[in-house]
Structure 1
Amino acid sequence: MKLWLLRHGEAEAHARSDAQRELTQHGRKEVKQSAGHLPGHGVSKIVASPYVRAQQTAQIVREVLVNHPPLETVNWLTPDGDLREALDYLDAHAGEKLLLVSHQPFIGELAGLLQHGHRQAPLPMKTASLAELQGELPLLGAMHLNALHHPHKH
């Protein structure tokens, strides 16, 4: 199974609620840069947090990908989402090439869990960081980090 984990791009500092924060112009550029690593890999589905900045990130990536994979929104991809729900979802979709769009600390903890089998070594994910993981199955400690891309500062 191949799995990509993408943290949303830079977002506004303030909004009526955390869920309503939108991407900044810089954040949009960051996402486009990270999305440039995805074409040709056959992403079959984008799964994203319902928060505005994650939805905007997912749409930008979807536009970059030639196949325009379907976008699914799930509530467990929020900053404090349930890692067990993520693992159950990944298990049920093990044959697919998924891109998850989420937030810190969730996305870093999920990457650490899949690589090491515990949450004590989360992957450092900056805004628009993209991690590529691979393994036979999405099990605790059974996936290998193939690449971690951080957008370049301009």
Structure 2
Amino acid sequence: MRLWLLRHGEAEPRARTDAERNLTERGRRDVRDNAAHLRGRALQAILVSPFQRAQQTADEVRRTLGYAGPCETVPWLTPESDLGEALRHLDQRGERDLLLVTHQPLVGNLGGWLVNGHHGEPLAMATASLAELEGEAIAGGLMRLVSLRHVR
């Protein structure tokens, strides 16, 4: 199974609420640059946080790839979501190639847990960073970090 973790692109510093922050033009460009590395991948679904900047990030990915497959907004991919809850939801998914569009600290903690099997080493995920993990199952310490792309 392959799991890609994408942190949203750079967002404006303020909005009425954190959930309403929009991507900056640089954030959109950075997302497109990293999304291009997903070309030719057999993504079966995109799961995305309901926050505006994550939704806009997913839109940029879909446009860049010409992706017309399922894109599902899920409430358990927000910045402060519970890692255990996210893992329970992921365990129920049947896809073998899945992209998550989410936020720090969740994305770093999730990646670190899946690769290392503990909370002490989260993945360093800057805005628009894309991590590729592979393994037999989505479980603590059972996935391997294939690549971690940061924006230049």
Interval of TM-score (by shorter of Structure 1 and Structure 2): over 0.9
Distance (Å, rounded) in 1 between the aligned partners of 2:96 and 2:64: 19
- Establish whether residue 66 from structure 1 lines up as the match of residue 34 from structure 2: no
TM-score by length of 1: 0.95
1:45 maps to 45
* Partner residue, 2:54: 54
**Letter of the 2:11 counterpart:** A
2:140 is the alignment partner of 1:140: yes
Tell me which moved more, 92-101 or 44-53: 92-101
The aligned residue for residue 150 of structure 2 is: 150
SS at match of 2:151: coil
- For the residues of structure 2 that align with 1:74 and 1:37, how far apart are their CA atoms? 24
CA contact under 8 A between 2:44 and 2:95: conserved in structure 1? no
1:19-46 per-position Cα deviation (integer Å, ceiling 9, x unaligned): 0000000000000001011011111111
Query: CA offsets, 1:29-68, max 9 Å, x none?
Result: 0000010110111111110000000000001101122342
Write the distance in 2 (CA, Å) between the matches of 1:13 and 1:151. 19
Matched residue, 1:105: 105
CA shift digits 1:77-129 (9 cap, x unpaired): 00000111221222122443110000001100000000011111000000000
- 3-state SS in 2 of match to 1:100: strand
CA distance 1:112–1:94, change in 2 (3 Å): farther
* Runs of 4 or more above 4 Å deviation: none
| SS of residue in 1 equivalent to 2:16 | coil
Q: Identical aligned pairs, as a percentage?
A: 54
Q: Distance in 1 between matches of 2:63 and 2:70?
A: 11
Q: What's 1:17 paired with?
A: 17
TM-score by length of 2: 0.96
Task: Count matched residues.
Answer: 152
